[in-house]
Amino acid sequence: MEIRVINPNTTLSMTATIGECARAVVGPGVTVEAVSPETGPVSIESHVDDAMAVPGVLAEVARGESEGVDGYVLACFGDPGLLAARELASGPVVGIAEAAMRTAAYLGRGFSVVTTLARTIGHTEDLALEYGLERHCRGVHATGIPVVELETDPQAYATVLEASRQALDDDGSDVVVLGCAGMADLCARLQSDLGVPVVDGVAAAVTQVEALVRLGLSTSQRLEFAAPPAKGLVVG
Ligand code: 2AL
């Protein structure tokens, strides 16, 4: 089985870490390749970044289809291009926000999302609503750390840990969801320090794709998610 993990941003060091975290949790016989689009924003933390990332995500899905990929993970917590990717792919496509929030709902009464910049909070709240998980999502909390600084800020771990402790208290929640793919490598240490389940969407999504492929399940082609009709593009 081949799973393609698409990091929708173009920071290749982050793509490599995401790939390692995904490979650490899949079963034998599963190959994971982590890729980024050739062009696009270095991080995704605004609506413009989100929109700019989508063409590159769809190009990676189209390439994966020509290479026989069995399923895809979209490894950005905004799940950019998720529904469009489902139209293009023959195998399942799972976004890390949806996977993390659904997984967290198995594990407790309410979860807190701990994320990067405050400006991403609204989009995450919208996603919780869209996925029908607003009753479980008790709060979304920003650390103030820009995505690319998760890799370079020596205080990043301590800041995420403190924000998570505060979020659990403020929200009366019992599970933490990491709101950025760039936090994937912090997950195990946070879970051990916090003493509650901590869900990394990269691990949740890649194991979900593995399970769906193993079950022989993929996106229904019957209505909305059928392949879109080919049409001309006007280039100005
Ligand atoms: C993200 C993420 O997962 N990747 C990225 O570039 N931005 N999420 C976020 N909340 O900032």
Q: Whose CA is nearest to atom 7 of ligand 1?
A: 44
Dist. CA 48 → ligand 1 center (Å): 13
Burial of 8: CB neighbours in 10 Å, binned 0-12, 13-18, 19+: buried
For residue 147 and ligand 1, the question of a CB distance below 6 A is answered with yes
Question: Per-residue pLDDT tens for 33-85?
Answer: 999 999 999 999 999 999 999 999 999 999 999 999 999 999 999 999 999 99
Which pLDDT band, with edges at 50, 70 and 90, does 236 fall under? confident
Fold assignment, 97-200: Rossmann fold (3.40.50)
Query: How large is the average pLDDT for residues 101-118?
Result: 98
pLDDT above 90 (res 161): yes
DSSP state of 119: G
Instruction: Find out if CATH 3.40.50.12500 is the number for domain 2-95+203-214.
Output: yes
Which pLDDT band, with edges at 50, 70 and 90, does 114 fall under? very high
Structure confidence at residue 235 (pLDDT): 84
Structure confidence at residue 233 (pLDDT): 84
Q: Whose CA is nearest to atom 11 of ligand 1?
A: 45
Structure confidence at residue 194 (pLDDT): 99
Beta bridge partners of 140: 113
What's the alpha-carbon Rg for the chain, to the nearest Å?
17
Query: How large is the average pLDDT for residues 180-197?
Result: 98
- How many whole angstroms separate alpha carbon 85 and alpha carbon 1? 19
Each domain of the chain, given as residue ranges in start order, spans: 2-95+203-214, 97-200
Decide if 2-95+203-214 and 97-200 have a common fold. Answer: yes
